[in-house]
Every structure is written in structure tokens, then in C-alpha cells.
Structure 1
Amino acid sequence: MIIAITGFALPKPITHGEARSIFLSTAPTYQDVPGLLQKHYLLSEDGATAGGVYVWNSQADAEAMYTPAWRAFVREKYGTEPTVTYFDSPVMVDNVAQKVFTY
């Protein structure tokens, strides 16, 4: 399993409510993306940085998302250049399912 964390500085801080509205407007674009298991939107406490935590089946699936077109979408939507950092996740604890998964 691959975790990708994206982030970008916002041109001006936004509130939780503003972030929720913006994030809901983009959420449909992430539904049914091949290999994407989960996406968690992020907003820093001061509202100046946003991003996401993505859980992927594979590195190839993740890399297929973060194309020049995706970067342009983020630049156009938020006015800033995103960063993407990949992590291998060999073990996951799921307290809802009461299970530990290995990959």
C-alpha cells in the first residue's frame, strides 16, 4: 500500500467552512479513481496550508494521478504549486474493523 501526502501553501488563509466548501467541490473528481482507496483532505490549524492524504493500491496508481494536468488543476484552483511525497505502508491498524493489515 502506498500513502501519498500532498500539500500546498494557500495565497491567503481560509476557514474550516471555506475549506469544507472548496474540498466538497473537488471531491467528485476523486471518486472512482483507479487504485485510490481513500482521500483525506487536510487544512492546517492556521488555514494557510492545505493538502491531502491519499491511500493507494500501488505506486503506479498514485503516479498516474499526479500528472502535469493534476498539478495545473491545483495551481488554477488554489494558486500555488503542490508537493507530493510518497510513503510505503507495510502495516495498517484499522480500529473500526478491529484488524491489523499487512501489505
Structure 2
Amino acid sequence: MADPEAGKQKADKGYRSPGLRGAQTSTLFRAVNPELFIKPNKPVMAFGLVAITLCVGYLGYLHAIKENDQQLYEAVDSEGQRYMRRKTSKWD
């Protein structure tokens, strides 16, 4: 009588997983490219996406504030004429 487990082992032996996980690769290749062999972790990906989105949003906010912060003031030249001048720093 044939053992059902023996047939299952033969079927499993010939099965290859799709993609690079089933490919014959060296240990160095797996060490250098772990993202190709590790299963995706969705909570970590979601956290990373939110973190990057918040960082980019904050940089955009700082850029928008900087453009609005270039204050103009009314200056008077030596001839008494008034004109608008942008605030500058001694470091510029």
C-alpha cells in the first residue's frame, strides 16, 4: 500500500515558490538584497508612509512660511522718497 505522505513529499520537492524566493542564489546576494526575500510587513510600511508624508508636509509648510515671512517695510532714501524694501540680514 502506498503511503499518502510519500506522494506529498514528492509533490513538495518539485514545487518552487514564485519569484526570487525560489531561485538558487548565494548567501552574499541574499545578504545584500534582503528586501527581495523578506515578506512585506504592512504595518511597518504604513508607518513609514505616514512618517515620510508628514516629513514632506512639514518641509512644504516651512517653505510656505519662509516665502510669506519675507517682510517688506517702507524705507526712505536720502532724497526723502519712500519705497518698499525687503527685510535683509547682515549675514546676506
TM bucket by the smaller chain?
under 0.3
Alignment TM-score, normalising by the size of structure 1? 0.21
| Larger relative contact order (CA 8 Å, sep ≥ 6) | 1
**Which structure is larger by alpha-carbon Rg, 1 or 2?**
2
TM-score (norm 2): 0.23
More helix by share: 2
Q: Which has the higher strand share?
A: 1
